[in-house]
Amino acid sequence: MKIGVLLKQVPDTETRIKLKVDKSGLEEGDIKWVINPFDEFAVEEALRFKEKAGGEVVIVTLGPPRAVDSMRQALAMGADKGIRIDNVGAHLDLFMTAKVLAKVVEEEKFDIVFGGKQAVDDDCAAVIQYVSEFANIPHVSPIETFECSSDLKKATVQRPVAGGLKEIVEIELPCVLGCEKGLNNPRYASLPGIMKAKTKPIAEKKSADLIASGELKVQTAGWALPPERAAGKKVEGEPEIVVDQLVKYLKEEAKVI
């Protein structure tokens, strides 16, 4: 099986995000970059599938050179090789990003593609759906379980739906699957794994070589940080009065009860 993983490098969720002085984007200096946490589930599921079905796991990342660190992390976990599509100087929206990735999915003829259900930086949850559309293969997202038939022709996956219900979906391969928390427990990179990772190949492509440039459908108009949190309200006095007051605030202002 040729197993593809769409992996995005994102700022660590504990990073304190700062904007550039001219507000044209993020100040990247202090950011610690990590694998998108949902993509870690994708890497793990791909590795487990490879352990059962054989074949190879290919990490596909669209990103600048720094993204190689996260790709190496996935290679250290056990993936076999990587393809990085350099996006330095390229202006890509979600649509174009997906066009590029879909092109790679087609070229590589993946039997199955795992990705995180969304990236935690922009939370768009759109790219894997676009990719499946452009590559003309089916998709399910988010998935909480994954089981492949013994002939490796179709997979059964479980998808959470409203009200705590579960939807059980049978899907034909090749397909794209968006991975949800709880699907698995991503492994640690072992020390021998880290040592081997440096010798695993990461091919480099330019996004311009994969797709013709097109009009962006979505343009970023600007960036703003969330407003500073307003100071809390403190209720003081006799308990009987304070409790009533507090309940009133929680009901009418905070609207949490």
Query: Which CB atom, from 191 or from 221, has the smaller least distance to another protein?
Result: 191
Among 89, 163, 192, 227, binds another protein (CB under 8 A): 192
Work out how close the CB of 61 gets to another protein at its nearest, in angstroms, rounded to a whole number: 16
Q: Which span sits near another protein by CB under 8 A: 119-127, 176-184, 193-201, 246-254?
A: 193-201
Work out how close the CB of 188 gets to another protein at its nearest, in angstroms, rounded to a whole number: 6
Work out how close the CB of 68 gets to another protein at its nearest, in angstroms, rounded to a whole number: 9
Query: Which CB atom, from 16 or from 255, has the smaller least distance to another protein?
Result: 16
Contact between 190 and another protein by CB under 8 A: the answer reads: yes
Distance from C-alpha of 90 to C-alpha of 206, rounded to nearest angstrom:
9
Build a one-symbol-per-residue string for 64-83: x at contacts with another protein by CB under 8 A, - elsewhere.
-----x--xx--x-------
Work out how close the CB of 14 gets to another protein at its nearest, in angstroms, rounded to a whole number: 11
Work out how close the CB of 79 gets to another protein at its nearest, in angstroms, rounded to a whole number: 14
Build a one-symbol-per-residue string for 26-65: x at contacts with another protein by CB under 8 A, - elsewhere.
------xx--------------------------------
Work out how close the CB of 192 gets to another protein at its nearest, in angstroms, rounded to a whole number: 5
Contact between 213 and another protein by CB under 8 A: the answer reads: no
Q: Which DSSP string do the residues of the chain spell out, in sequence order?
A: -EEEEE--EEE-TT----B-TTSSSB--TTPPEEE-HHHHHHHHHHHHHHHHH-SEEEEEEES-TTHHHHHHHHHHHT--EEEEEE-TT----HHHHHHHHHHHHHHHT-SEEEEESS-TTT----HHHHHHHHTT--EEEEESEEEE-TTSSEEEEEEEEGGGEEEEEEEESS-EEEE-TTS--PPPPPHHHHHHHTTS-EEEEEHHHHS-----S-------PPPPPPPPP---S-HHHHHHHHHHHHHHTS---
Among 104, 135, 183, 197, binds another protein (CB under 8 A): 197
> How many angstroms separate the Cα of 235 from the Cα of each of 80, 246, 248, 252, 253?
59, 7, 11, 15, 14
Query: Which CB atom, from 138 or from 193, has the smaller least distance to another protein?
Result: 193
- The footprint of another protein (CB under 8 A) covers 32-33, 69, 72-73, 76, 188-195, 197-198
